[in-house]
Amino acid sequence: MAPQHASQVVAVTGVSGYIGSEVVKQLLEKGYTVRGTVRSKSNTGKVQHLLTLSDALPGQLELFEADLLKAGDFDNVVRGADFVLQRLERCWQGRHQEGCGYL
């Protein structure tokens, strides 16, 4: 039997952190196809747990490198997605910084 949401794609930004990882886990458990953004796919310390989840759960995970400050970096991630969950931001500790904002 195919997973319940196998044909639905969810784009999730900022998946390598605690909250983003939990969102990915719950989506994969339900059988969604998840497109997740990370700063670097080569940083195994930040992405290995996500790959392990993908191997163990019924959904599919595809990771994309994306930079919040580069125009167009998220285009391929969200194109054709049924849902988009924006989980990243460019502000730290409430201080305004150059490029601080939300998608």
* Whether pTM exceeds 0.85: no
pLDDT by residue (tens digit) across 80-90?
999 999 865 55
- The pLDDT of residue 102 is above 50: no
Largest CA distance in the chain: 49
CATH annotation of 9-85 = 3.40.50.720
Which neighbouring-strand residues pair with 85? 12
- The pLDDT of residue 34 is above 90: yes
The end-to-end CA distance of the chain, in Å, is 37
pLDDT by residue (tens digit) across 35-50?
999 999 999 999 999 9
- The pLDDT of residue 56 is above 60: yes
Which sequence spans correspond to the domains of the chain? 9-85
What is the rounded distance in angstroms from the CA atom of residue 68 to the CA atom of residue 48? 22
Which residues 6+ apart lie within 8 Å of 86 measured at CB? 13, 102, 103
